[in-house]
């Protein structure tokens, strides 16, 4: 008894704590599965914070349902009112016109459920351990899963992924092995430059351009504290320098001395990679393996022996970033970056694209403090005629300014052009203030001391050479403060390798820390192996390729393919003080307002509502440039292509009743996905959502002869009176739309919108007939009111006249009496 009294309660407490810990781990595991399903399988949430309820009609009776999956999750619709620390709850009231619940209404689930789905709706429920499948999916719910995945369940989408498409069901008698997790910790960055110096690098001024770009990487891009080594290769490989830690500017300058100055011989890529591994293995005991170390591999040639080292590369644990230079770089090169998780870049021989410099500038650390990473503010180049000027403006915003470099390059003359740079306060920097490279790289560099002035910096550069030459301006900087994250841009594509005629999707995420940046002008330049570059504007408007409006991710379809091979992506972002703004990133997690346990409603604390007010004034004008790497196109027909790209799917169709008419609105698609202008629309309607989805062509047509499509990205609006449809109280009609281009190519069926008509009941007295008597009663009451009001006015006027007459008489009588 003594032992139990001393230890029994502790043991019991320990068991309870272990049980709680186990439940907590299980709950967090389901959160992990929820987020993993987003990331890995591309499914969407099955709730909707913006439209938490929808109207459903079953057996002729309308009801309001919470947006959820599955629909068998039970609960109550509750409004909570609080005064101080005292709160009360009541059932929600519905709007007579829309039948939807009042503002502030929440769906409060039962804690104990029988529903096993869905993890993409409310994984916090103890019973939920599955995704919604075909049998449990709620196709009527107004959620993003239905909208983006054509009303298919999350499990259907997951089973179509490459993870499951070629696998057999798991035998319950032989469960899978437990998942192993590895905890990784970052160390100092370790980078080895493995550079091709084969004979082909002597053409198109490649070896000099390589030195220009690599020098910028060593002097401006690679972070302080990193370790850097250099290897060159042709038929054989040579270690130019073992790893040196960048602890000051002298180390940076010393590393530039080991950059190659000549080219010759064949191409043996595996030999260069082997030497790169050897360099990194000699760093010391703290780096006993290659995990997390990086190789920057640049080559312009083909190598039939690359397959001999693929296994070693895969098992090395090293990350290999690849830079393909010119049209003949080995097609297998990207295998290295694909299997190691590295970045992939492509640079053409077009000098005025700055492709090689942009590639090296894009290889910044993927981990660590963002304040230490280099940020590219400008990268532009153009051919300048004799005695002509190249000029421009670079905005240094308040989030950057430390370690700022202005770099000017040229490609022909031995002496620098005339340079004039003026800061926002009028201070001028001339050519003599720039430092020319000792390696004769046709590069002049100016490092601004301290923190650069915030505002617009203007530059003018004159070509003094006897012939036209390409002049470029590159500007890099770092964060101005450890406490304020800089504005950053991440440019990327939806895939690394694409097969014609599938489109590419280009993205650019513009943010400051975790805050999306809205209202920026985002331009993407796609440069093919052959032909001219294509420029397109990316949008954050929730239409076309852009899934979510105002989330700081700007998107656009790209279909202007010039042939097979590599394509290079570069994104330029400009924010203007008057239009650009920050927005708090809204949590997309489902807020659970409370639970019902044993019939008792237990509410959680209200969800905090974020405010944008305090962040609006913190962001001004800015410039950013980012490389988005490269992608490879395959199966593009030779000799040009015909129109094979239809208009994009409309994803924001909305419908509502306006008196006796239906009003539809959506964003116009283009002729080729979200570019150009469609030729016409087909609009269909049905009282069955599934019929409209599955047999669109058989649904009732809407007359669209008067509807002319607008240019892509424009808001469309169309109003019509339904024909051949009996509309009565409680009628719900579903609508969908398809766009057709001038080549008769048709878009996918849009999201399905619903319009619900509910006529509010009219109040009437028990003994009166419903319609005419109510109207007559209203007229009689109005007549009485008008008569009474008129009588009061008449009496008031009469009284006023008598008072006025008496007052005038009194005024006349006064003087006579005084006489």
pLDDT at 18: 53
Decide if 674 contacts 649 (C-beta within 8 A). Answer: no
Q: Are 667 and 541 in contact (CB under 8 A)?
A: yes
Mean pLDDT, the chain, whole residue set: 85
Tens of pLDDT, residue by residue over 418-427, are 999 999 999 9
Tens-digit pLDDT profile for residues 598-641: 999 999 988 776 665 555 546 789 999 999 999 999 999 987 77
Residue 781: per-residue pLDDT = 37
Predicted local confidence at residue 703, as pLDDT: 94
Alpha carbon distance 624, 555 (integer Å): 17
Strand extents, DSSP E, 563-613: 565-575, 581-582, 594-597, 600-603
Domain that holds residue 338: 187-371
Q: Dihedrals φ, ψ of 461, to 5°?
A: -130, 125
What is the share, in percent, of the chain residues with pLDDT greater than 90? Answer: 65
Residue 638 CA to residue 619 CA, distance in Å, equals 48
The number of angstroms, rounded, from the C-alpha of 718 to the middle of its chain's C-alpha atoms is 30
Report the candidate in 436, 433, 392, 382 with the shortest Cα–Cα distance to residue 414. Answer: 436
> Residues near 669 by Cβ (< 8 Å), separated by ≥ 6?
543, 544, 647, 648, 649, 650, 678, 712, 739, 747
**284/388 same-domain check:** no
- 490 and 458 in one domain? no
Domain limit, last residue, from 540, 560, 579: 579
Q: How many CB atoms lie within 10 A of CB 394?
A: 19
Give the CATH number of the domain where residue 495 resides: 2.60.40
Q: Where are the alpha helices (DSSP H) in 585-709?
A: 689-694
Q: Are residues 384 and 462 in the same domain?
A: yes
Do 79 and 1 belong together in one domain?
yes
Same domain, residue pair 249 and 342: yes
Assess if residue 806 is contained within a domain. Answer: no
Whether 191 and 147 share a structural domain:
no
Residue identified by tokens 């970056």 is 337
Read off the pLDDT band of 284 (50, 70, 90): low
208 and 356 fall within a common domain: yes
pTM: 0.84
Task: Report the 3 state secondary structure along 165-212.
Answer: CCCCCCCCCCCCCCCCCCCCCCCCCEEEEEEECCHHHHHHHHHHHHHH
pLDDT, average across residues 145-153: 92
The answer on 384 and 333 residing in a single domain is no
Q: Which of 641, 664, 671, 672 is nearest to 720 (CA)?
A: 664
Whether pLDDT at 312 is above 50: yes
Q: Are 277 and 340 in contact (CB under 8 A)?
A: no
Q: Distance between CA atoms of 321 and 309, rounded to whole angstroms?
A: 16
- Asked if 358 and 401 sit in the same domain, the reply is no
Answer whether residue 791 is part of any domain. no
Q: Which pLDDT belongs to residue 811?
A: 40
| pLDDT value, residue 9 | 41
| pLDDT, position 587 | 65
- The Cα 522–Cα 541 span in angstroms is 12
- Number of domains composing the chain: 5
In this structure, is residue 596 part of a structural domain?
no
Q: What is the pLDDT of residues 503-557, one digit of tens each?
A: 999 999 999 988 899 999 999 999 999 889 999 999 999 999 998 899 999 999 9
Nearest CA to 476 out of 107, 781, 748, 217 is that of 217
Residues 6+ apart with CB under 8 A from 730: 57, 60, 61, 62, 756, 757, 758
Residue 322 near residue 337, CB atoms below 8 Å: yes
Please report whether residue 207 resides in a domain: yes
Residues 221-256: tens digit of each pLDDT? 999 999 999 999 999 999 999 999 999 999 999 999
Whether 598 is covered by a domain: the verdict is no
Predicted pLDDT of residue 794: 44
Q: Is 535 a catalytic residue?
A: no
- Model confidence at 21, pLDDT cuts 50, 70, 90, reads low
Query: Which CATH number is 456's domain given?
Result: 2.60.120.380
Catalytic pick among 35, 91, 96, 634:
35
Least confident of 479-483, 696-700, 789-793: 789-793
User: Average pLDDT for residues 491-499, to the nearest whole number?
Assistant: 95
Position with higher pLDDT, 59 vs 301: 301
Higher pLDDT, 26 or 736: 736
CA distance 684 to 546: 24
Pair (355, 462) in one structural domain: no
Based on the fold, state whether residues 132 and 196 are members of the same structural domain.
Answer: no
Among 478, 512, 529, the domain boundary falls at 478
Do 216 and 91 share a structural domain?
no
Please tell me the least confidently modeled range out of 92-96, 151-155, 771-775.
771-775
């Amino acid at each position: 008894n003594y032992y139990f009294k001393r230890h029994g309660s502790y043991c019991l407490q320990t068991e309870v704590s272990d049980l709680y810990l186990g439940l907590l781990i299980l709950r967090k595991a389901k959160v992990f599965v929820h987020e993993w399903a987003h990331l890995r399988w591309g499914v969407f949430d099955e709730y909707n914070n913006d439209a938490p309820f929808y109207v459903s009609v079953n057996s002729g009776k309308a009801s309001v349902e919470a947006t959820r999956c599955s629909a068998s999750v039970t609960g109550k619709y509750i409004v909570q009112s609080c005064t101080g620390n005292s709160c009360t709850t009541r059932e929600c009231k519905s709007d007579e016109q829309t039948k939807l619940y009042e503002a502030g209404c929440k769906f409060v689930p039962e804690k104990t459920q029988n529903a096993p789905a869905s993890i993409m709706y409310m994984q916090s429920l103890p019973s939920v351990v599955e995704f919604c499948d075909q049998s449990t999916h709620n196709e009527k719910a107004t959620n993003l899963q239905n909208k983006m995945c054509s009303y298919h369940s999350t499990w259907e989408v997951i089973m179509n992924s490459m993870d499951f498409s070629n696998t057999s069901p798991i035998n319950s008698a032989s469960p899978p092995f437990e998942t192993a997790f590895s905890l990784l910790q970052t160390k100092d960055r370790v980078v080895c430059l493995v550079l091709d110096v084969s004979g082909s690098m002597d053409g198109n001024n490649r070896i000099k351009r390589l030195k220009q770009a690599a020098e910028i990487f060593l002097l401006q891009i690679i972070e302080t504290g990193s370790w850097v080594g250099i290897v060159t290769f042709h038929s054989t490989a040579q270690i130019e320098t073992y790893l040196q830690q960048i602890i000051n500017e002298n180390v940076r300058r010393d590393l530039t001395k080991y950059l190659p100055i000549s080219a010759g011989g064949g191409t043996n890529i595996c030999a260069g990679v082997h030497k790169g591994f050897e360099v990194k293995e000699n760093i010391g005991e703290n780096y006993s393996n290659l995990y997390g170390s990086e190789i920057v591999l640049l080559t312009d040639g083909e190598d039939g022996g690359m397959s001999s080292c693929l296994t070693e590369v895969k098992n090395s644990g090293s990350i290999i970033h690849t830079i393909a230079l010119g049209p003949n770089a080995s097609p297998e090169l990207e295998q290295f970056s694909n299997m190691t998780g590295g970045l992939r870049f492509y640079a053409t021989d077009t000098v005025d694209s700055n492709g090689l410099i942009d590639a090296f500038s894009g290889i910044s650390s993927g981990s660590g403090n963002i304040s230490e990473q280099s940020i590219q503010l400008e990268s532009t180049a153009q051919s300048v005629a004799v005695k002509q000027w190249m000029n421009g403006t670079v905005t240094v915003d308040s989030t950057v300014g430390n370690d700022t470099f202005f770099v000017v390059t040229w490609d022909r003359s031995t002496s620098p052009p005339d340079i004039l740079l003026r800061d926002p306060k009028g201070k001028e920097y001339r050519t003599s203030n720039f430092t020319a490279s000792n390696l004769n790289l046709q590069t002049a560099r100016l490092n601004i001391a301290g923190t650069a002035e915030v505002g617009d910096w203007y530059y003018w550069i004159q070509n003094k050479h006897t012939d036209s030459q390409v002049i470029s301006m590159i500007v890099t900087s770092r964060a101005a403060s450890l406490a304020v994250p800089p504005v950053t841009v991440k440019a990327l594509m939806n895939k690394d390798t694409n097969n014609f005629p599938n489109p590419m999707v280009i993205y650019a995420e513009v943010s400051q820390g975790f805050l999306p940046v809205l209202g920026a002008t985002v331009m993407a330049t796609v440069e093919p192996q052959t032909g001219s570059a294509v420029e397109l504007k990316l949008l954050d408007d929730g239409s076309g390729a852009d899934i979510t409006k105002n989330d700081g991710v700007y998107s656009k379809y790209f279909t202007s393919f010039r042939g097979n091979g590599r394509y290079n992506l570069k994104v330029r972002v400009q924010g203007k003080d008057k239009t650009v703004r920050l927005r708090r990133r809204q949590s997309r997690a489902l807020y659970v307002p409370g639970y019902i346990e044993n019939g008792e409603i237990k509410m959680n604390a209200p969800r905090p509502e974020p405010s944008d007010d305090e962040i609006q004034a913190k962001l001004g004008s800015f410039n950013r440039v980012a490389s988005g790497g490269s992608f490879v196109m395959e199966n593009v027909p030779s000799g040009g292509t015909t129109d094979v790209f239809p208009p994009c799917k409309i994803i924001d169709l909305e419908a509502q009743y306006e008196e006796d008419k239906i009003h539809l609105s959506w964003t116009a698609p283009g002729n080729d996905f979200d570019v150009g202008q469609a030729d016409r629309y087909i609009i269909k309607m049905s009282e069955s959502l599934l019929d409209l989805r599955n047999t669109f062509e058989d649904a009732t047509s809407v007359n669209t002869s008067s509807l002319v499509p607008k240019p892509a990205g424009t808001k469309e609006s169309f109003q019509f009176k339904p024909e051949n449809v009996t509309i009565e109280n409680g009628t719900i009609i579903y609508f969908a739309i398809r766009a057709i281009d001038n080549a008769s190519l048709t878009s996918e069926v849009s999201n399905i919108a619903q319009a619900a008509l509910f006529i509010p009941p009219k109040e009437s007295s028990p003994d009166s007939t419903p319609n005419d008597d109510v109207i007559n009663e209203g007229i009689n009451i109005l007549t009485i009111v008008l008569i009474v009001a008129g009588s009061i006015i008449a009496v008031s006027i009469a009284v006023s006249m008598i008072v006025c007459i008496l007052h005038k008489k009194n005024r006349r009588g006064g003087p006579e009496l005084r006489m």
